[in-house]
Amino acid sequence: MSTLVHTRLDVRPLSVFTGAEIHGVDLTQPLTQDEVDEIRAALLRWKVIFFRDQHIDHAQHLAFARRFGRPTSAHPYDANPPEGYPQIRTISSASTTGRRGERWHTDVTGVVNPPAGSILRAGRQVPAFGGDTLFTNLVAAYEHLSPALRALADGLWARHQFGGFNGDFDNQTVYAQRVQASPLVSEHPVVRVLPETGERALFVNPGFTRRIKDVNEEESRHLLNLFFEEITRPEYTVRFRWQPGSIAFWDNRATAHQGPGDFAYLDVERVLYRITLEGDVPVGVDGRHSNAVLGKPFSAFGVDTGAVA
């Protein structure tokens, strides 16, 4: 396996499987098509890419995102985006979402078309240390299963759910009440085939995947634990330290991530801004598409009228 990608951008891999820093581009300026193509190629190769010292504002963040897809509304449950930017979700350690610490997850897999990508940018305020984000590579996880387990996983489907259960949130918050009241539920293939590369990703995550279909509850629990252990193996992960001007852009079809569990101990409030890109409906190894059980597809809901380049 080659670990080098030859581009005119300076692409610096951060681990054998996952993550690369991109240098030699200025995101305060409009990107050329070559730059867009090279960034996209790096994203497909490394699954999550990082930029440093890119001090962009909300408008520039949005302009960057639109070169790679169609931004969704901020979040299916988040009604408090920054003024004038309904596509941007503010993620603050002091927020009122009542998060009890992060679990490994892929963004919004309760919907039938989970976001294709997420672009998370540090605000002016991030802690000097602590508050890191972890990412893992679901393709590497799939490819290192034994052949017999890959064959089993290829034929499985799983139910993903966002909301409608207790445990992750402090129920006193408005956000938590909204999540509980309107669950999003979909069935996705356990192994999804990525359209551009044909790679197979082990598309399950502890945050939202609740149940393997067509097996009994105990079997489902064992299988999910096995897959969760596989996707979170340290060798597939990369850990990102935030600084002002840092950006992480992940392929949400091929990764899971875990925000910090040390929110309560940070020396300053940690503020990040996230844009998610509208996703396609996952396709399994047998060509079947995911289906929605509860809730609508996650899209711009009329808030984003910008052109996709």
The residues of the shown chain that bind ligand SIN, judged by CB under 6 A, are 91, 107, 118, 120, 133, 257, 259-260, 272, 274
CA dist., res. 202 & res. 294, Å (int): 23
208 touches 294 (CB < 8 A): no
CA dist., res. 35 & res. 180, Å (int): 42
Residue type, 115: P
Comparison of 81 and 259: residue with beta carbon closer to ligand SIN: 259
CA dist., res. 245 & res. 264, Å (int): 23
Verify whether residue 168 is a known catalytic residue: no
- For the chain, helix, strand, coil in percent to 5 are 20, 25, 55
Comparison of 133 and 136: residue with beta carbon closer to ligand SIN: 133
Verify whether residue 304 is a known catalytic residue: no
Minimum CB separation from ligand SIN for residue 270, in Å?
A: 7
Place of tokens 């799983």: 158
- Determine which one of 45, 61, 70, 107 is catalytic: 107
Comparison of 118 and 137: residue with beta carbon closer to ligand SIN: 118
Cite the DSSP H helix spans in 107-254.
Answer: 138-143, 147-154, 174-181, 217-231
Q: Calculate the dihedral angle through the C-alpha atoms of 201, 27, 133, 157, rounding to the nearest 10 degrees.
A: -20
Verify whether residue 105 is a known catalytic residue: yes
Comparison of 121 and 188: residue with beta carbon closer to ligand SIN: 121
Minimum CB separation from ligand SIN for residue 142, in Å?
A: 22
Find the residue with minimal CB distance to ligand SIN.
Answer: 259
- Determine which one of 192, 257, 270, 304 is catalytic: 257
Verify whether residue 61 is a known catalytic residue: no
Minimum CB separation from ligand SIN for residue 155, in Å?
A: 30
- Determine which one of 192, 253, 274, 304 is catalytic: 274
Minimum CB separation from ligand SIN for residue 15, in Å?
A: 18
The residues assigned a catalytic role are 105, 107, 257, 274
